[in-house]
Amino acid sequence: MEEKVLTVGSMFAGIGGICLAFKQNGCKLIWANEIDKYACQTYRLNFGDSYLVEGDIQDIKGKDIPKMDILTAGFPCQAFSSVGLKEGFADPRGNLFFETARVINEKKPRAVLLENVANLVKHDEGKTFQVIKDTLESLKYHVTYKVMNAKEYGDIPQQRNRIYIVAFKYKKDYLRFCFPSPVELTKTAFDLYDKKKQNPKYYMDGHRMWNRMMEYMDDRKRVYRFTDWGLSRGMEGICPTLLAAMGSRFERIPFFYDRYSVRLMTPRECARLQGFPEDFILPTENEKQVYKQIGNSVCVPVVSRIAKQITKVLKA
């Protein structure tokens, strides 16, 4: 008997990091929605244009969304991020979670995967997360969640803590599911950087903070970046969290010593540190948008391991 192919719909799809993870696990992508036109361009380069709906989810009626086995949503995290203003549901982006709940209620998928910043658990003394959990349970879903770091669960040398919420329509599926176990980190960020000399635009020689950088950057095995509080360094061999802000301020892009000087990570190197394969196409124009898209995306290997567990349960 032919094995059932599980179908996936994706809200707030971005450039398709979560979609890619489920595709890697044999699922069929049948619907995706994204409002950002630049992210949609990158998505189409990699997945085509047959099912992507570009536009505001608030304008999309349930009858126009196909039924799917699995719904995924990396709903906007800026409202809950410790880096942002932490306004939660007071921020219109925070309220987009309720659009996710609407689609779950209307399409009733067998499984749901939600991804957000780890700070969601602590936001507003835990009240925000409780609302999310209560909402899913009010829709008769069985909910489990885990905070997972890319360097601990994806064999990716990036400090990236994210919460993954998995909800199942049927209790039997919920009882069979377990999150993946930690895996040993086998590489450093420097293993993922290109060794040859890069375009001069990535080198930071002559930066207004150059002298301060030279005083601070005393360890060539670490990756550095500027924050609101000044210059900071990552753990040895580990890249700091890649942020969407890389697209608005180049100083938010991590930088390091290569064999030539101090330079920024390139978009391709950032993509590697999110676990995107080499054949994933990045637009060559509008580089700021590409940085933003990668910072907004997910660590693909972590999501792929969760997707493997979800699909195993649904096929059992």
The whole-number pLDDT of residue 97 equals 87
The residue among 268, 273, 293 whose CA lies nearest residue 40 is 293
Is pLDDT larger for residue 92 or for residue 105?
105
Domains identified in the chain and CATH numbers: 7-184+299-315 (3.40.50.150), 189-294 (3.90.120)
Q: What is the pLDDT of residue 64?
A: 97
Selection from 156, 157, 71, 55 nearest residue 112 by Cα: 71
Averaged confidence pLDDT in the chain: 92
Rg (CA), the chain: 20
Cross-strand pairs, 149: 161
Predicted confidence at residue 84, as pLDDT, reads 44
Are the beta carbons of 252 and 245 closer than 8 angstroms?
A: yes
Would you call 135 exposed, middle or buried from its count of C-beta atoms within 10 A (0-12, 13-18, 19+)? middle
What gap in Å lies between CA 50 and CA 196, rounded to an integer? 38
How far, CA to CA in Å, does 22 sit from each of 18, 30, 34, 132, 306?
A: 7, 12, 17, 23, 9
Work out whether the CA dihedral 258, 191, 247, 280 comes out positive or negative: positive
> Cα–Cα distance between 125 and 137 in angstroms, integer?
20
Quote the crossing angle between the two packed helices 37-47 and 287-296, to the nearest 10°.
Answer: 80
Contact 185, 157 (CB under 8 A): yes
Pairing of strands 28-34, 7-11: parallel
Could you read off the pLDDT of 271-303 as tens digits, one per residue? 999 999 999 999 999 999 999 999 999 999 999
Residues 202/264, Cβ–Cβ less than 8 Å: yes
The mean pLDDT value for 141-156 works out to 98
Measured between alpha carbons, how far is 190 from 204 in angstroms, rounded to an integer? 18
* Nearest-angstrom CA–CA distance, 263 and 37: 29
pLDDT of residue 19: 98
Which residues carry out catalysis? 77
More confident residue, 78 or 108: 108
254 CB contacts (<8 Å, ≥6 apart)? 223, 224, 225, 234, 239, 240, 242, 264, 265
Q: What are phi and psi of 142, to 5 degrees?
A: -100, 125
With contact defined as beta carbons under 8 Å apart, do 57 and 99 qualify? yes
Q: What is the pLDDT of residues 98-139, one digit of tens each?
A: 899 999 999 999 999 999 988 888 877 788 888 899 999 999
pLDDT in tens, 169-223: 999 999 999 999 999 999 999 999 999 999 999 999 999 999 999 999 999 999 9
Beta bridge partners of 255: 224, 264
88 pLDDT more than 60: no
pLDDT attached to residue 1:
57
Q: Is pLDDT of 83 > 50?
A: no
Whether 89 has a pLDDT exceeding 60, the answer reads no
